[in-house]
Amino acid sequence: MKKIDFHIHTVQSVSDRHFEFDIESLQEYVNLLKIDCIAITNHNLFDKIQFEEICKKLEIKVFPGIEIDLEGGHLLLISENDILDDFALKCQKVKDLIPTKDDSINYEQLIDIFPNLKDYLLIPHYDKKPNIKPITLEKLGDNIIAGEVTSLRKFKTCIKEADKLTPLIFSDCRFVENMSSYPTRQTYVDVEETTLNAIKGCLYDKTKVFLSEEDGNDFFQATDDGIMLSTSLNVIVGGRSSGKTYTLDKICENFDNVKYLRQFSLLQNDKENFKKLVTTRHSLVTENYLKEFKDVVLDVNEIDLKSNEISLDKYLISLKKYASETNNLDTFSKCKLYNETKFTLDSLENLKKLISATETLLETNEYKDIVNKHATDISLKNLAIELIQKYNELYEQNLKKDWTNNLIESIKDSLKFRSTTTSIEEVDFSKIQSEKIKVEKFIKLVKNVQSEKIIDSKEIRGFKVLAKTKQYTGAGQLKKKSKTNLRFSDAFNNYENPYKFLISLQNVGIEETEFYKYFVDIDYRTLNKHGYEVSGGERSEFNLLHEISDALKHDLLLIDEPESSFDNIFLKSEVNELIKEISKEIPVIVVTHNSTIGASINPNHLVFTQKTVNAGNVDYKVFFGHPTSKILKSVGGETIKNLDVLLNCLEAGEDAYNQRNITNYEILKD
Question: What's the pLDDT score for residue 650?
Answer: 62
pLDDT in tens, 431-465: 899 999 999 999 999 999 999 999 888 887 778 88
Question: What's the pLDDT score for residue 664?
Answer: 46
Average per-residue pLDDT for the chain: 88
- Most confident range, picked from 268-272, 397-401, 423-427: 397-401
Given a contact cutoff of 8 angstroms between Cβ atoms, the answer to whether 234 and 228 are in contact is: no
pLDDT in tens, 283-337: 788 888 899 999 999 999 999 999 999 999 998 998 898 888 877 788 787 788 8
Question: What's the pLDDT score for residue 393?
Answer: 94
Amino acid letter for position 322? Y
Element housing 1 (H / E): none
Question: What's the pLDDT score for residue 111?
Answer: 97
Question: What's the pLDDT score for residue 599?
Answer: 59
Q: Which position has the higher pLDDT, 594 or 98?
A: 98
Given a contact cutoff of 8 angstroms between Cβ atoms, the answer to whether 571 and 594 are in contact is: yes
The residue-averaged pLDDT of 393-403 equals 94
Residue 87 has pLDDT above 90, yes or no: yes
Given a contact cutoff of 8 angstroms between Cβ atoms, the answer to whether 36 and 2 are in contact is: yes
Question: What's the pLDDT score for residue 436?
Answer: 94
Give the residue among 87, 160, 170 at the shortest CA–CA distance from 124: 170
Report the range of poorest mean pLDDT among 244-253, 325-334, 466-475: 325-334
Question: What's the pLDDT score for residue 667?
Answer: 45
Residues with Cβ within 8 Å of residue 169, at least 6 apart in sequence = 148, 149, 150, 151, 152, 155, 185, 186, 187, 211
List Cα–Cα distances, 83 to 36, 265, 370, 624, in angstroms.
Answer: 22, 57, 59, 46
Residue 411 has pLDDT above 60, yes or no: yes
The residue-averaged pLDDT of 473-478 equals 93
Architecture of domain 2-217: Alpha-Beta Barrel (3.20)
Give the residue among 211, 192, 212, 213 at the shortest CA–CA distance from 201: 192
Question: What's the pLDDT score for residue 656?
Answer: 47
**d(C-alpha 646, C-alpha 627), whole Å:** 9
Report the range of poorest mean pLDDT among 194-198, 265-269, 350-354, 490-494: 265-269
Is 247 buried (19+), middle (13-18) or exposed (0-12) by CB count in 10 A? buried
DSSP letters for 624-649: EE-TT-SEEEETTS-EEEHHHHHHHH
List Cα–Cα distances, 170 to 73, 188, 669, in angstroms.
Answer: 17, 10, 58
The pLDDT-based confidence of 359 (bands split at 50, 70, 90) is very high
The pLDDT-based confidence of 579 (bands split at 50, 70, 90) is confident
Report the range of poorest mean pLDDT among 37-46, 119-128, 290-299, 317-326: 317-326
Question: What's the pLDDT score for residue 662?
Answer: 47
The pLDDT-based confidence of 668 (bands split at 50, 70, 90) is very low
pLDDT in tens, 559-569: 888 766 566 66
**Residue spans per domain, the chain:** 2-217, 236-257+554-668, 272-297+442-527, 326-421
The residue-averaged pLDDT of 155-165 equals 94
Element housing 437 (H / E): helix 429-450
**d(C-alpha 642, C-alpha 644), whole Å:** 5
SS3 228: strand
Question: What's the pLDDT score for residue 573?
Answer: 67
Q: Which position has the higher pLDDT, 619 or 87?
A: 87
- How would you write 142-187 as a 3-class SS string? HHECEEEECCHHHHHHHHHCCCCCEEECCCCEECCCCCCCCCCCCE
Q: Which residues are registered as beta bridge partners of 146?
A: 166
pLDDT in tens, 580-607: 888 999 999 998 876 555 556 788 999 9
